[in-house]
Amino acid sequence: MNIVLLKDKFSTLTTFIYFDQTQYLREKTTAPEKLQQFIEEAKELSEDSNADDRYILYGMIGNLLRIMEKPQEAINYLTWCLEHAVQEKHRSREIVSNIRLGEAFKYSNQYERAFNCFDKALYFCKVYQIHDYEDFSLQHKGKCFMELERFSEAEDCFDRALDIRGKKGNQSLIDSTQQAIDLVKNLHN
């Protein structure tokens, strides 16, 4: 299998991933065996891949490991991604890698490290003038606050993310943030 086919296969896995309302909208899977099979294929393909393809593969592997509740293993792959992005001075990948790594730290209950990653992503969005990921950083930071029952701070992050997403006009992103806002309001009352 090559990386193009694997990317296509990765996109089909989203049908098996959902946001768990009972766990602060953490991503879960209904088909862990399918995710595990994909992880094994991606690991095998990554062995002979160049660094750019390895970044893509490790990012997918890390995200799926996090969803499968293996955050420490996910952290290992996503740390490699961040280090590679920094070394290559690939600024947008550096931002994305910080967000992904922050999520893995959150799933590992390492909240301060998660906040550090989300704050770095927000800082780099501003410094590098790459605003495409600002709403994602805010959304994930808000979920982190929500897990810590810091509801006002969570709601502030979600409101800011919703404002950005409203300007983007992407309805699925708007719906995702609205779902987070509704949950935090429900938890806060």
* 86-112: pLDDT as tens digits: 999 999 999 999 999 999 999 999 999
Mean pLDDT of 150-156: 97
Element (H, E) at 47: none
For 57-66, b where at least 16 C-beta lie within 10 A, e where not — what string?
bbbbbbbbbb
pTM confidence score: 0.95
How far apart (Å, rounded) are the C-alpha atoms in residues 115 and 148? 12
Instruction: Report all structural domains of the chain as residue ranges with CATH numbers, in order of start.
Output: 3-188 (1.25.40.10)
At 101, list the tokens. 């790594």
Instruction: Give the pLDDT band of residue 131 (cuts 50, 70, 90).
Output: very high
Question: Does residue 4 carry a pLDDT above 80?
Answer: yes
Quick check: 7 pLDDT over 90?
no
Distance CA 132, CA 3 (A): 25
pLDDT of residue 189: 77
Closest CA to 25 of 160, 150, 139: 139
